[in-house]
Amino acid sequence: MSRPAVAIIGAGASGALTALHLLSDPDGPRIFLIEKRTGFGVGVAYSTGNADHLLNVRAGNMSAFPDQPDHFANWLRDRHPDLLAAGFVPRRVYGTYLAGLLRAAAMSDNATGRLMLVNDEAVTIITGQGRPRVRLAVGRELLVDALVLATGNGAPEPPHVPDGGLARSRRYIGDPWAPDAFAHVAPEDSVLLLGTGLTMVDVALSLRAAGHVGPKLAMSRRGLLPRRHAAPATMAPPPLPPIPPLLSQALRLIRTHLRQYQAAAGDGADWRAVIDALRPITRPFWQSLDTAARRRFLRHLRPWWDVHRHRLAPMVADRLDGMLARGELSLQSGRLRAFAVEGVGAQELVAVRWCPRGTAQDAVMRVQHVVNCTGPGGDLSKAGPAIIQSLLAAGLARPDALHLGLDLDGDGRLIAADGCAGRFYALGPASRGAFWEVTAIPDIRVQARQVAAAICRDLG
């Protein structure tokens, strides 16, 4: 009997890790791994050619496999003995690791002839009579038995203010990850970076590496920068007490726990150890919150969570501090009010009206470019990729209650508009609404194993 077929749409880390798990099962399915960009296994984060773009998680925590925690560290020791597992290695090195794993898995005895790499965009899913079909941009269709959405982050949402023609002008860079995003930015040009998180830091470093010397100004509502990683605490915190399923109580308990740990350990304590200890409980805690509490978290706590949870490698933090100290980059906090594109040709400028934090008076600045660094877009039902729009339109998927991603069951199966789950799955950023922390490899690798196991079970 022929093996069932699974289409995995997106061959970044999420898609590649799911494929690895499916291939490791000798009775597993055939796989169409579909990727619209060049390169399989690297995705957006690990395809950067910029050596200054470092992992923001220690190499020792970046194994592809949850049950082999030293896998990447061992690979690194063999291939790059100059790089330390305890350090933060260039992201492109991690891309080489993932792509190599995929190549090796495809050539293993278990997997002969089972992995088909398809370099194209999946645009629609057609269901109805017979097996589902994935239609590719070239027009070809693939017959499958199950489907995995591993399409990654959406482009940042455009700012919700009157844009005065900005979105249509070349002055606006809406997707800083697009391959030629900064082609129109001349070295002396002034640039406003919207957002002060990890994306902003990447963009500021990329511009600098590309020879940009003009003024760069980063702005967000609170002006919070990601905190830096530090050497591991010399004294580990005691185990966390059970966290109550109420946001305010949980916050109070974690703060008390941190204060007690700091009082007991003195200089040997580090708040990062307490934040890191939350990783295993983050998902069940999120799932225990009702929609109103999740909404409160997003509104009031998320900016603080993001900067403490997703930190900068020390070398990157040093470079950022250097740029700030030398005035190459400046930071503002405030609320955007409106944009207006003024002048034409080389004289064209963007007037940015904004209200500095703590004041009631609007101010105006003029810059040559505006880069949207606000991070991944949220509402897939409004701005998701074509493939997700097609699933939503056909009622094969529905957004989660807060429109952070797609509605999923506990194993990652899409919940359709009628409330039923079938053989369509999602992982990575599209599952944020269901599980919240699915941003980094230590979470994604667990999810990939879980989704692969569910597929193998469902396909019998």
Ligand X SMILES: Cc1cc2nc3c(=O)[nH]c(=O)nc-3n(C[C@H](O)[C@H](O)[C@H](O)COP(=O)(O)OP(=O)(O)OC[C@H]3O[C@@H](n4cnc5c(N)ncnc54)[C@H](O)[C@@H]3O)c2cc1C
Q: Which is nearer to ligand X, 29 or 377 (CB)?
A: 377
* The binder of ligand X chosen from 441, 446, 452, 456 (CB under 6 A): 441
385 binds ligand X per the rule CB under 6 A? yes
14 binds ligand X per the rule CB under 6 A? yes
189 binds ligand X per the rule CB under 6 A? no
* The binder of ligand X chosen from 5, 33, 95, 153 (CB under 6 A): 153
Residue 195 has a CB neighbour count (10 Å cut-off) of 21
12 binds ligand X per the rule CB under 6 A? yes
Q: How far is the CB of 87 from ligand X (least distance, A)?
A: 12
Read off the tokens for 437.
């922390």
Q: How far is the CB of 419 from ligand X (least distance, A)?
A: 25
Q: Which is nearer to ligand X, 132 or 334 (CB)?
A: 132
195 binds ligand X per the rule CB under 6 A? no
The span from the first CA to the last CA of the chain, in angstroms, equals 13
Restricted to residues 22-41, the positions that interact with ligand X (CB under 6 A) are 34-37
Q: Which is nearer to ligand X, 368 or 439 (CB)?
A: 439
Distance CA 113, CA 292 (A): 48
Read off the tokens for 388.
């997700």
Q: Which residues are within 8 A (CB) of 46 and not within 5 positions of it... i.e. 6 or more apart?
A: 12, 13, 91, 92, 94, 95, 98
Read off the tokens for 189.
């040009």
Write out the DSSP string of 218-273: EEESS-PPPPBP-SPPSSPPPPPPPPPSSHHHHHHHHHHHHHHHHHHHGGG--HHH
Q: 240, 277 in Cβ contact below 8 A?
A: yes
Q: Which residues are within 8 A (CB) of 269 and not within 5 positions of it... i.e. 6 or more apart?
A: 233, 235, 237, 261, 262
317 binds ligand X per the rule CB under 6 A? no
447 binds ligand X per the rule CB under 6 A? no
> Which among 429, 426, 412, 449 has a CA at the least distance from the CA of 18?
449
Q: How far is the CB of 43 from ligand X (least distance, A)?
A: 2
Site string for ligand X, 46-85 (x = CB under 6 A): ---------xxx----------------------------
> Which among 198, 279, 272 has a CA at the least distance from the CA of 230?
272
429 binds ligand X per the rule CB under 6 A? yes
Q: How far is the CB of 245 from ligand X (least distance, A)?
A: 27
Distance CA 107, CA 111 (A): 6
Q: In 3-state terms, the chain is what percent helix, strand and coil (to 5)?
A: 35, 20, 45
> Which among 370, 332, 373 has a CA at the least distance from the CA of 352?
370
Distance CA 8, CA 32 (A): 6
431 binds ligand X per the rule CB under 6 A? no
* The binder of ligand X chosen from 428, 435, 436, 437 (CB under 6 A): 428
95 binds ligand X per the rule CB under 6 A? no
> Which among 210, 141, 150 has a CA at the least distance from the CA of 371?
210
Q: Which is nearer to ligand X, 151 or 450 (CB)?
A: 151
Restricted to residues 101-130, the positions that interact with ligand X (CB under 6 A) are 121-122
Q: How far is the CB of 405 from ligand X (least distance, A)?
A: 11
Burial classification of residue 147, based on how many CB atoms lie within 10 Å of its CB (0-12 exposed, 13-18 middle, 19 or more buried) = buried
* The binder of ligand X chosen from 18, 63, 151, 390 (CB under 6 A): 151
Q: 147, 9 in Cβ contact below 8 A?
A: yes
Which DSSP category does 297 fall into? Answer: I
44 binds ligand X per the rule CB under 6 A? yes
204 binds ligand X per the rule CB under 6 A? no
374 binds ligand X per the rule CB under 6 A? no
* The binder of ligand X chosen from 5, 8, 9, 320 (CB under 6 A): 9
The count of chain residues that interact with ligand X, using the rule CB under 6 A, is 33
Backbone angles phi, psi at 228, to 5 degrees: -95, 150
19 binds ligand X per the rule CB under 6 A? no
Q: 208, 317 in Cβ contact below 8 A?
A: no
* The binder of ligand X chosen from 15, 41, 399, 412 (CB under 6 A): 15
384 binds ligand X per the rule CB under 6 A? no
150 binds ligand X per the rule CB under 6 A? yes
Residue type, 399: P
Q: Which is nearer to ligand X, 166 or 388 (CB)?
A: 388
* Residues shown for the chain: 460
Binding site for ligand X (CB under 6 A): 9-15, 34-37, 43-45, 55-57, 91, 121-122, 150-153, 202, 385, 387, 428-429, 439-441, 444
